[in-house]
Chain A
Amino acid sequence: MRKKKKKNLPVIVGSVIIGIFIVIAIFCEQLAPYDPAITSINVYQRPDSAHLLGTNDLGQDIFSELIYGTRVSMLIGVFAAVIATLVGTTFALLSAYYGGIVDRLITSLTSLAMAVPGLALTTLLVCYLNPGKLSLIVAISITSWTGTARILRSRLLTLMEEPFIKIEKAIGQKDSVIMFKHLAPNIKDIILSRGAMSVSGAMMTEASLSFLGLGEFGEKSWGSILHYAFFRNGVIRGLYWWYLPPIICTSLAVLGFMLVGYYGQQNK
């Protein structure tokens, strides 16, 4: 008898949140009422029926900015997380499979990378790399693969003792095939949930960098909107429709990925 699948409410809620943001990110041209780059003379307008969230210092529609920002934030977050997860998984596989000197090298490298303050190093990297999405992604993923690598390694070490891995060796299977076909599928759920957590981490880092003014220049992400809101004294002047929405969006997206990552793992 197959067990009846239990409903995992946090994962469902998280998936719905992620799903909504993905739809917004894909269809932002259709959803946004204005082009967020177009400036107008109507600056610092309060929210009304024409501009749902008012306008900013350059007369740009904040609601449209927010919708376009979804795409930038999600893109950087997801890609950085994918790279970080891939790097972490590969390192964990190599480390657990070969053991010995390889394991020691990778473990020390992980500890070293963990000891470096992440945001500081990322900031430094962003400053010295060519500005753009790619360097942001690289800078974020360079510091965020460590947790994944460490958690996967410990799980893989127990998996390595399983007889079926020994048998694969005994029948002369190639190392790479054992690693990616036999070891990796068995930690699929941890990889996925760690990946989802990485996305939330990467989005937070991206928001922090953008808030510091180190973000993407051409397109505004949620962090960049915040940066301009603070830069133009939005908080002191009480323009809450300017600085609150990006905060809420970032928090919601991070929450969504966290829910999926955290509870997706526990369901096992």
Chain B
Amino acid sequence: MRIRTEKLTKIYDSRTGSSEKTIGALDVDITLDKGETIGLFGSSGSGKSTIGQMLSGLLKPTSGKIFYDEKEISYPFRGKERRNIQILFQHPEVTFNPALPLIKSMVEPYKIFNIEYSKEILIESIQRFGLHEEHLLRKPSELSGGELQRAALSRLLTFEPEVMILDEPTSMLDVISQGQIINMLREYQREKGASFVFISHNRTLCEMVCDRIYRVEHGCVAQETDGAASFPEKPQGVSQ
């Protein structure tokens, strides 16, 4: 079992100032095996991104536990876990620092984890994703969404993560770029046996990509069996 969560819960304070709480995620129990792709499927605002951000250590859970290889990990992630769990976001335009040329963002993984690199290695790694040396010298605003998402993926794969949280990685892209990204991810999974958490509101894509699908509704998660999910009863005294 690569990742397992136990009653993972995130409750936001309501911004209206009342004592009411808003549920981001409630008692989430999900499991993720090695080499597996699970889907988190739900409508907008259902809390799937909240779960994704907690799994990637960007958001502190209100309660509950996350286990990585059966070892409990806590927010904020450090060291090995920080490197092994990576997240790919929905909007490629805001993935990179807009003030810096792409190359400065691209060399960061090497610098952070003291991986040796040269310009040749960097160029080779982006050429696998259909980008050229010239792209590296541009600012993010001078590249297209598809190019940026491929660059983002290339940067993430430098870490050789074992778990990747894919937060709607293709929803902002055209059909061709979507296919490219999905194929690249599949190839990486075959090579390294990585596990993916695929977050999407696109039913067809979810079914195509995922081994198992969890449906998310109002922060509650239930595993689907034959397209039907049974949700636990709504808790009392908490608005959604």
Contacting pair B112 A185 (CB below 8 A): no
CB pair B99 A167 closer than 8 Å? no
Establish whether residues A164 and B87, one from each chain, have CB atoms under 8 Å apart when the complex forms. Answer: no
Q: How far is the CA of A50 from the CA of B98 in the complex (A)?
A: 58
Interface residue total, chain A, C-beta cutoff 8 A: 17
Give the CA-CA distance A163 to B108 in the complex, in Å: 16
Q: How many A-B residue pairs have CB under 8 A?
A: 55
B86 within 8 A of A: yes
Nearest-Cβ distance from residue B141 to partner chain A, whole angstroms = 11
> Count of chain B residues with Cβ under 8 Å from any Cβ of A?
28
Pair B97/A163 contact, Cβ less than 8 Å: no
Q: Tell me if B234 counts as interface (CB < 8 A to partner A).
A: no
Q: Evaluate whether A172 and B112 lie within 8 angstroms (CB atoms) in the complex, with A163-B95, A167-B89, A186-B99 already known.
A: yes
For chain A residues 254-268, which have a beta carbon within 8 Å of chain B? none
> Residue B83 contacts which of A168, A169, A172, A174 (CB distance < 8 angstroms)?
A172
| B contact residues around A170 at 8 Å (CB) | 56-58, 86-87
Which of chain A's residues have a CB closer than 8 A to the CB of B78? 172
Does residue B100 face the partner (Cβ distance < 8 Å to A)?
A: yes
**A173 close to B (CB within 8 Å):** yes
Cα of A166 to Cα of B49 in the assembled complex, Å: 13
A120 near B: Cβ within 8 Å?
no
CB neighbors of B among A161-212 (8 A): 162-164, 166-174, 181-182, 185-186, 188
User: Which residue of chain B has the shortest Cβ distance to A169 in the bound complex?
Assistant: B58
B108 contacts across to A, CB distance below 8 A: 168, 171, 173
Chain B residues within an 8 Å CB radius of A167: 87, 89, 95
Interface residues of B (CB under 8 A from A): 53, 56-58, 76-78, 82-83, 86-87, 89, 91, 94-100, 104, 108-109, 112-113, 155-156, 159
The chain A residues found within 8 Å of chain B, CB to CB, are: 162-164, 166-174, 181-182, 185-186, 188
12 A-B residue pairings within 8 Å (CB atoms): A163-B89, A163-B94, A164-B94, A164-B98, A170-B58, A171-B86, A171-B156, A173-B108, A181-B100, A182-B97, A185-B100, A186-B97
* Seed contacts A169-B76, A171-B156; 8 additional CB < 8 Å A-B pairs: A164-B96, A166-B53, A170-B56, A171-B86, A171-B159, A172-B78, A181-B100, A185-B100
